[in-house]
């Protein structure tokens, strides 16, 4: 990546952190005032911002192990920290998408997504989503807590890439809402985001678990993401912000499980 392109890329990381989290990231001098989120600009920086957020969860995992809380509590605290930082941003999308899938027609599904209440399907999806991630992280930590912390950072970065890909690959399911107004990244933005996500994943996974574990995680995450994309297209007619959030959680689960399957 040329130096000028890399500089432009990194300039959008603070805005990406504000978009993805509740962290009090100050607006820097080079950032325009009151600029609305624009995925064409923010998109490539999302995996980097996701990985930075993942560092907080990784630190919680390491500290919990250091004070001998045990694998389950350490993994649970790691995801509790991440949920607090992000405001359960993507988990909200997972719950809304799960609830909407229980409806009988497309119009009703999109209507349910606007309802802030969580139904049975949404609650079950949240429970399973956290249980699978906590279980996978606990099992990885049994093989090596530092390596597991690295896998968590990688998973957080790749999860944002997955949500971004859904926004790019599918048309907007409706002509309002965040996913529509924020726009979609073009092919160059997707390529830059993919490069950033893959480089980060390699740096944080290969040293601890090896190349084959990384490839297993990437392949399983890609398969799950493609299957979910087809489901979203068939059931909703495209993407929404909630669907992008659900895709991020599903890809994160698949990546962690894939790494676990072939972790050395």
Taking Cα atoms as reference points, which of 190, 249, 241 lies closest to residue 46? 190
pTM: 0.89
Cβ neighbors of 127 (< 8 A, separation 6 or more) are none
pLDDT at 180 over 60: no
- What would the pLDDT profile of 35-87 be if each residue is shown by its tens digit? 656 666 777 889 999 999 999 999 999 999 999 898 999 999 999 999 999 98
pLDDT at 182 over 70: no
Comparing 97 with 113, the larger pLDDT belongs to 97
- What would the pLDDT profile of 143-164 be if each residue is shown by its tens digit? 999 999 999 999 999 999 999 9
Is residue 202 classed exposed, middle or buried when 0-12, 13-18 and 19+ CB atoms within 10 A define those classes?
Answer: middle
Q: What is the pLDDT of residue 250?
A: 96
Q: What is the pLDDT of residue 160?
A: 92
Comparing 183 with 113, the larger pLDDT belongs to 113
Residue 188 pLDDT grade (very low, low, confident, very high; cuts 50, 70, 90): confident
CA 224/CA 250 separation, integer angstroms = 7
Is residue 67 classed exposed, middle or buried when 0-12, 13-18 and 19+ CB atoms within 10 A define those classes?
Answer: exposed
8 A C-beta contact, residue 200 and residue 236: no
Q: Which of 50-64, 162-176, 201-215, 249-263 is predicted least confidently?
A: 162-176
pLDDT at 217 over 90: yes
- What would the pLDDT profile of 10-33 be if each residue is shown by its tens digit? 677 887 888 887 877 776 655 556
Q: What is the pLDDT of residue 3?
A: 43
> Could you please report the per-residue DSSP string of the chain?
--HHHHHHHHHTHHHHHHHH----PPPPTTSPTTPPP-HHHHGGGHHHHHHHHHHHHHHHHHHHHHTT--HHHHHHHHHHHHHHHHTSHHHHHHHHHHHHTTSSSHHHHHHHHT--S--HHHHHHHHHHHHHHHHHHHHHHHH-HHHHHHHHHHHHHHHHHHHHHHHHHS-BSSSSSHHHHT----HHHHHHHHHHHHHHHHHHHHHHH-HHHHHHHHHHHHHHHHHHHHHHHHHHSSB-HHHHHHHHHHHHHHHHHHHHHH--
For the chain, what is the mean pLDDT? Answer: 86
CA 90/CA 243 separation, integer angstroms = 9
Q: What is the pLDDT of residue 102?
A: 79
Q: What is the pLDDT of residue 69?
A: 92
Comparing 137 with 169, the larger pLDDT belongs to 137
Q: Which of 184-193, 227-236, 255-264 is predicted least confidently?
A: 184-193
Query: How confident is the model over 235-248, as a mean pLDDT?
Result: 88
Q: What is the pLDDT of residue 246?
A: 93
Taking Cα atoms as reference points, which of 104, 14, 99 lies closest to residue 53? 14
Taking Cα atoms as reference points, which of 172, 149, 165 lies closest to residue 229? 165
For the chain, what percent of residues have pLDDT higher than 70? 87
């Amino acid at each position: 990546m040329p130096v000028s392109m890399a500089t432009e890329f990194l300039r959008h990381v603070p805005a990406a952190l504000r978009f993805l989290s509740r962290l009090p990231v100050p607006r820097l001098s080079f950032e325009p005032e009151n600029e609305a989120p624009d995925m064409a600009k923010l998109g490539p920086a999302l995996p980097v911002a996701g990985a930075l957020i993942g560092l907080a969860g990784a630190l919680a995992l390491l500290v919990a192990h250091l004070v001998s809380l045990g694998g389950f509590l350490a993994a649970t605290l790691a995801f509790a920290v991440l949920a607090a930082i992000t405001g359960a941003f993507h988990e909200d999308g997972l719950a809304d998408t799960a609830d909407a899938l229980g409806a009988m027609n497309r119009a009703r599904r999109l209507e349910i997504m606007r309802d802030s209440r969580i139904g049975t399907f949404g609650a079950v999806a949240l429970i399973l989503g956290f249980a699978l991630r906590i279980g996978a992280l606990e099992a990885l930590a049994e093989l090596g807590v530092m390596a597991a912390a690295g896998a968590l950072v990688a998973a957080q970065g790749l999860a944002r890439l997955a949500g971004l890909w859904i926004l790019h690959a599918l048309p907007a399911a409706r002509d309002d809402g965040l996913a529509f107004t924020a726009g979609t990244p073009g092919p160059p933005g997707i390529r830059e985001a993919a490069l950033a996500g893959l480089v980060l994943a390699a740096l944080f996974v290969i040293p601890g678990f090896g190349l084959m574990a990384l490839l297993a995680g990437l392949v399983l995450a890609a398969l799950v993401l493609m299957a979910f994309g087809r489901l979203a297209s068939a059931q909703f007619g495209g993407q929404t912000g909630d669907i992008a959030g659900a895709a991020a959680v599903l890809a994160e689960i698949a990546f962690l499980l894939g790494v676990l399957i072939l972790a050395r």
